[in-house]
Amino acid sequence: MKKNLLVASANPGKVREIKAILNSPELTILSAKDAGIAINVAETGQTYEENAWLKAEAYQKASGMIVLADDSGLEVDALNGEPGIYSARYAALPNASDADRRHYLVEQLQGKPQPWPAHFHCTAVLAGPRGHLAVAEGRCDGIIIPEERGTGGFGYDPIFFIPQEAATMAELSEDRKNQISHRARALQALLPELQKLFQLD
């Protein structure tokens, strides 16, 4: 029997990362586009977990499949944890690009003493026809730098420097990012549940 897992996201970068991290030949990982689902879920939750469940439940209802959803964000110490759950919408302008959000973030840090410690957080959840199945969290620590470096990744990756790697998230190879990122750590924590659900080897 075909084992399908639907990712509750229209973000191709995120779906590509999840496929690479889970990397199971027994599991077919589908994007919203693959499944023919076009829904827009309002992220009205007050936490990453609430937002992840909102997405998981909506996609599960639309598809009838087991759904993996996540919500993630960047938390900067000098900004009291902002942008946090609003990371994807953090900008002074409507319809802002990732580059606009990075520029805006660095602007907010001007005048605050460096270094600017920060971490990426991810909460990943699984939902099925009978409701909530599992939840896991992951975190990756680093510092924000004022000049962008690297061309990989997406979002805030070019200004998120990881001292242990001597590189920004955007300078890491995809393989390395998919070992140490916040999303990788959350999904790795979910793997035992996925193995049980899908009877993976």
Can you give the pTM of this predicted structure?
Answer: 0.92
Residue 171 in this model has a pLDDT that exceeds 80 = yes
Residue 1 in this model has a pLDDT that exceeds 60 = no
pLDDT digits (tens, 9 = 90+) for 134-166: 999 999 999 999 999 999 988 999 999 999 999
**Rounded average pLDDT over 105-131:** 96
Residue 2 in this model has a pLDDT that exceeds 70 = no
Average pLDDT, the chain: 93
From the candidates 34, 70, 71, 157, give the one annotated as an active-site residue. 71
Binned at pLDDT 50, 70 and 90, residue 167 comes out as: very high
All structural domains of the chain, each given as residue ranges with its CATH number in brackets, are: 4-198 (3.90.950.10)
Binned at pLDDT 50, 70 and 90, residue 83 comes out as: very high
Residue 23 has a pLDDT of: 85
Residue 201 has a pLDDT of: 61
71 is catalytic: yes
CA distance 61 to 129: 8
Residue 112 in this model has a pLDDT that exceeds 90 = yes
**Rounded average pLDDT over 182-197:** 93
Q: Computed from CA positions of residues 194, 16, 8, 162, in that sequence, does the dihedral angle turn out positive or negative?
A: positive
DSSP state string for 10-52: --HHHHHHHHHHH--TT-EEE-TTTTT---------SSHHHHH
What residues contact residue 101 under an 8 Å CB cut-off, 6+ apart? Answer: 83, 87, 88, 90, 91, 155, 156
Residue 55 has a pLDDT of: 96
